Amino acid sequence: MSRLMHVVSGPYAPPPAARELTAVSADGAWLHVEVHGSEDAPAIVLAHGWTCSTAFWAPVVRALAADHRVVVYDQRGHGRSPAPGPGGYSTSALADDLEAVLGAALAPGERAVLAGHSMGGMTLMAAADRPALRDHAAAVLLCSTGSSGLVSGTMVVPLRRERIRARVHRALLGTRAPYGPVTPLAKRILKYATMGRASTPEMVEACARIVHACPRTVRAAWAHVLGELDLDAQLERLTVPTVVIAGTADRLTPAVHARRIVAALPNCVGLTELAGLGHMTPVEAPDAVTGAIRDLVRDHLAVRDHLAVRDHDGTRDRPTAAPAVPAEEPAKVKEETS
């Protein structure tokens, strides 16, 4: 991360954490966790996507940490979380890791708004029936993600025949070839594949630095898991209020995935389709993502002053959040421009 801070500046540079900790997953895997903002503020937990790291959330963290406690962590094999052994790549492992992070960063019974981008959203789906998610999740944001059929639905190479398109994308995404240095050509390729046309050079630079830092063996191992992804059955178990965000120009997880997720969720409280944006919505449109999270905190994490949860060290009380409020209206589709 320190190298990344030297080459990425402004709102896309990773902010310094208020504190860092290590969560230990069910199989013993260690996960790097950062906490930003005040310990007494409402809690938000962010899970990043494939080939990314905590640095990916930088503009969102900077905006939210002013009045929230923001927890971010590196998925196993990404950022500062060590790569697991050959058997350590699965959606169950992602769910185990999320449970470990929630247990390490939140007080018992403390609720938070959970947000996941891409593979981070799949992490939340995979953990839908886990006790830790039921205990801690007041509401959820699923951002630029899908629940199944990823390689056949991807449109990076827009071939008409689905079977051939899936085969090509499986080979491209699962390659162990090194991405190499962040060259102008590499940035053009990444922008085409993952971002909208209006994304700025600074956005592209930040995303390229993050993605190219992911070890190729980790990248390929997770690509295999994503290629076989099927979390459709988990969606009906995600019963907390959930908002979905997608970019209309997303080639990796086209907006059709978001619409399918919305149709399957039992408690969807909103769908926002961001016109002209690609897959990297938290970087391309941090205001829209931050706004959606703030709305979920406002609507489903109202603090009760007369209740408190004892902090981890037992020396301080922390406010507890009110239970999630059931949705009263059907999901509404809202289009926004970047």
Question: What pLDDT does 180 receive?
Answer: 74
- Exposed/middle/buried for 15, CB within 10 Å: 0-12, 13-18, 19+? buried
Kindly give, in sequence order, each residue whose CB lies less than 8 Å from that of residue 14, ignoring residues fewer than 6 positions away.
Answer: 1, 4, 5, 8, 54, 55, 58
Q: How far apart are the first and last CA of the chain?
A: 28
Q: What's the whole-number mean pLDDT along residues 220-248?
A: 96
Give the chain's domains with CATH numbers: 2-337 (3.40.50.1820)
- Exposed/middle/buried for 160, CB within 10 Å: 0-12, 13-18, 19+? exposed
Instruction: Report the share of the chain in percent with pLDDT over 90.
Output: 73
Question: What pLDDT does 273 receive?
Answer: 98
Q: What is the pTM of this model?
A: 0.86
Confidence of residue 312 (pLDDT cuts 50, 70, 90): very low
Average per-residue pLDDT for the chain: 85
Chain-centre distance of CA 50, in angstroms? 9
335: three-class secondary structure by DSSP: strand
Instruction: Give the integer Cα–Cα distance in Å for 318 and 310.
Output: 6
Among the ranges given (58-72, 159-173, 182-196, 251-265), the one the predictor scored with the smallest mean pLDDT? 159-173
What is the Cα Rg of the chain in Å?
19
Query: Edge-to-edge, what's the strand order for the sheet holding 333-337?
Result: 19-24, 30-36, 69-73, 43-47, 112-117, 137-143, 242-247, 268-275, 333-337
Torsion over CA: 252, 256, 261, 264 (sign): negative
Residue in the structure block whose two tokens are 């790549």: 89
Chain-centre distance of CA 241, in angstroms? 17
Q: Which tops the pLDDT comparison, 60 or 306?
A: 60
- For 214-224, the pLDDT digits (tens) are 999 999 999 99
- For 144-188, the pLDDT digits (tens) are 999 998 877 676 656 566 665 556 555 566 566 567 789 999 999
Q: What's the whole-number mean pLDDT along residues 11-22?
A: 93
Residue burial 93-119, b: 16+ Cβ < 10 Å; e: rest: bbbbbbbbbbebbbbeebbbbbbbbbb
Looking at residue 84, the DSSP 8-state letter turns out to be -
